[in-house]
């Protein structure tokens, strides 16, 4: 579906909203009978949960299906990804490096979730992926995947921070931001 088509679907859907426990909860009822429920953090506007429900051919409502949310949140020492809304225990997940495709693969033994993603930072530095640097944890329905940054990346990021300190910073009252 094109972006404009999706936006139009959202506009034409019947919507109700509720503020509760620091979350903005929005329920959409689409003309075709599908339902979508979203929860946003009230302060940041960040999407926390998105669920879908459809009617069967006989008109009965199905169970809510939660959409996993995949995001990257790096730390100083590691590249980190979080996949929210994955309710299975830690031993169901398999997280490994695919050397041939230069990516990380996440899968569940129950075949309910599968994802492959690359680490563009390592591609830019032309560094190999190392299984020993990969780890993962699971808590609060969130799978947290960490890849420890190689020494070369840490040194390069440190040099970049030194370089950025030399750049003159414009303030909002300065008007146009000019590049140096």
Average model confidence (pLDDT) across the chain: 89
pLDDT at 179 over 60: no
Please report where in the chains the tokens 């990021």 appear, as a residue: 157
Is residue 174 scored above 60 in pLDDT?
no
Q: Could you read off the pLDDT of 72-86 as tens digits, one per residue? A: 999 999 999 999 999
pLDDT at residue 60 is higher than 50: yes
169: DSSP letter = P
Pairwise CA distance, residues 148 & 152, whole Å: 11
Strands (E), 30-74: 35-41, 47-53, 65-66, 69-72
Amino acid 56: pLDDT: 82
Q: What is the tens place of the pLDDT at every residue in 9-21?
A: 888 999 999 999 9
Q: Residues 142-155: pLDDT tens digits?
A: 999 999 999 999 99
0.85 exceeded by the pTM? no
pLDDT per position as a tens digit, 70-129: 999 999 999 999 999 999 999 999 999 999 999 999 999 999 999 999 999 999 899 999
Residues 6+ apart with CB under 8 A from 1: 9
């Amino acid at each position: 579906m094109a972006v404009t088509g999706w936006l139009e679907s959202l506009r034409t859907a019947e919507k109700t909203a509720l503020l509760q426990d620091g979350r903005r909860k929005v329920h959409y009822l689409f003309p075709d009978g599908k339902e979508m429920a979203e929860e946003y953090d009230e302060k940041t506007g960040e999407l926390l949960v998105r669920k879908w429900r459809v009617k069967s051919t006989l008109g009965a409502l199905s169970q809510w299906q939660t959409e996993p949310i995949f995001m990257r949140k790096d730390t100083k020492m590691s590249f980190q990804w979080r996949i929210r809304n994955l309710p299975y225990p830690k031993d169901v997940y398999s997280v490994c490096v695919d050397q041939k495709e230069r990516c990380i693969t996440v899968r569940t033994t129950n075949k309910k979730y599968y994802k492959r993603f690359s680490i563009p930072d390592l591609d830019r530095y032309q560094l190999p992926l190392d299984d020993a640097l990969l780890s993962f944890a699971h808590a609060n329905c969130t799978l947290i995947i960490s890849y420890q940054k190689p020494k070369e990346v840490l040194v390069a990021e440190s040099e970049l921070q030194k370089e950025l300190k030399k750049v003159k910073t414009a303030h909002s009252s300065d008007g146009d931001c000019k590049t140096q």
